[in-house]
């Protein structure tokens, strides 16, 4: 019986040690959910092991098939350019498939709501609460449009209102979105960071939420069960797509 392809989780990396710690915690959760699957982690920058280093090691072990899964919530520059460039330089004996990015997905919305409830909200608060969907930000118009579409979709699940915000590259900022929701008449305002791991930009989101007096500030998605399940779904989808191509 042939082995399942290795799942290589490709993270951006950060100088902030909380980033790598969160990525590793998430990967441990994925391994626990699928004990028979080999899951490795590689970083594009700042942290080790690097993606090229992991690919070289896997090839040296005789591994033949890898699914590289970008640990990204939107399909922006890293997913479109950086990661494909790194994967093209993989050892020729490795078959490497790039999975889709994680977002958008109903599982991410479920994870965001979990974090908001952990921060003090309850389902009964939804109709009177405005939510800021706070993203890291991007210069890619496609990524910005996706965040706006997610905010519109989430609004229809019962919140008073949902507004997108960005920590960099785009507007509005978190603090401006908080003030807008307050002006709309929402009884309370919550900020939900649409980011996976702590770092400089998530800290900027938190600072904006505090500056504008948000009532609730959720934690980042982190190693949530919803995110772990989503990684496994993206892995399976990449395998299915590869089988259809081969057929």
In CATH, what number is assigned to the domain containing residue 63?
Answer: 3.40.50.1400
- Whether 234 maps to a domain, the answer reads yes
Indicate whether 37 and 129 sit together in one domain: no
157 burial (CB, 10 Å; 0-12 / 13-18 / 19+) is exposed
* Structural domain that includes position 153: 106-217
- Confirm whether 1 is domain-assigned: no
The backbone torsions φ and ψ at residue 101, rounded to the nearest 5 degrees and listed phi first, read -65, 170
If asked whether residues 79 and 152 sit together in one domain, one would say no
* Residue 84 and residue 29 share a domain: yes
174 belongs to a structural domain: yes
Please tell me whether residues 58 and 110 are part of one structural domain: no
Instruction: Look up the pTM and report it.
Output: 0.95
Tell me: do 110 and 195 sit in the same domain: yes
Q: Tally the C-alpha atoms within 13 A of residue 237's C-alpha that lie toward its C-beta.
A: 12
Same domain, 54 and 121: no
Number of domains the chain contains: 2
* Per-residue pLDDT tens digits of the chain, which is 247 residues long: 358 999 999 999 999 999 999 999 999 999 999 999 999 999 999 999 999 999 999 999 999 999 999 999 999 888 999 999 999 999 999 999 999 999 999 999 999 999 999 999 999 999 999 999 999 999 999 999 999 999 999 999 999 999 999 999 999 999 999 999 999 999 999 999 999 999 999 999 999 999 999 999 999 999 999 999 999 999 999 999 976 554 3
């Amino acid at each position: 019986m042939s082995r399942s392809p290795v799942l290589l989780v490709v993270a951006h990396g950060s100088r902030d040690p909380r980033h790598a710690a969160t990525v590793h915690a998430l990967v441990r959760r994925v391994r626990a959910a699928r004990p028979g699957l080999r899951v490795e982690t590689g970083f594009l920058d700042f942290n080790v092991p690097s993606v090229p280093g992991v690919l070289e090691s896997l090839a040296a072990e005789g591994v033949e098939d890898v699914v590289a899964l970008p640990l990204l919530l939107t399909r922006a520059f890293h997913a479109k350019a950086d990661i494909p460039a790194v994967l093209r330089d993989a050892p020729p004996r490795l078959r490497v498939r790039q999975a889709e990015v994680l977002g958008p997905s109903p599982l991410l919305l479920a994870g965001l709501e979990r974090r908001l409830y952990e921060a003090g909200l309850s389902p009964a608060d939804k109709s009177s609460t405005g939510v800021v969907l706070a993203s890291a930000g991007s210069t890619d118009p496609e990524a910005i449009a996706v965040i706006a579409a997610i905010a519109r979709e989430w609004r229809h699940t019962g919140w008073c209102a949902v507004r997108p915000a960005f920590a960099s590259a785009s507007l509005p900022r978190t603090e401006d979105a908080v003030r807008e929701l307050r002006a709309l008449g929402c009884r309370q305002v919550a900020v939900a960071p649409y980011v996976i791991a702590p770092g400089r930009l998530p800290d900027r989101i938190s600072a904006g939420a505090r500056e504008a007096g948000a009532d609730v500030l959720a934690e980042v998605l982190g190693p949530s069960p919803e995110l772990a399940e989503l990684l496994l779904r993206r892995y399976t989808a990449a395998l299915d797509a590869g089988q259809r191509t081969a057929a």
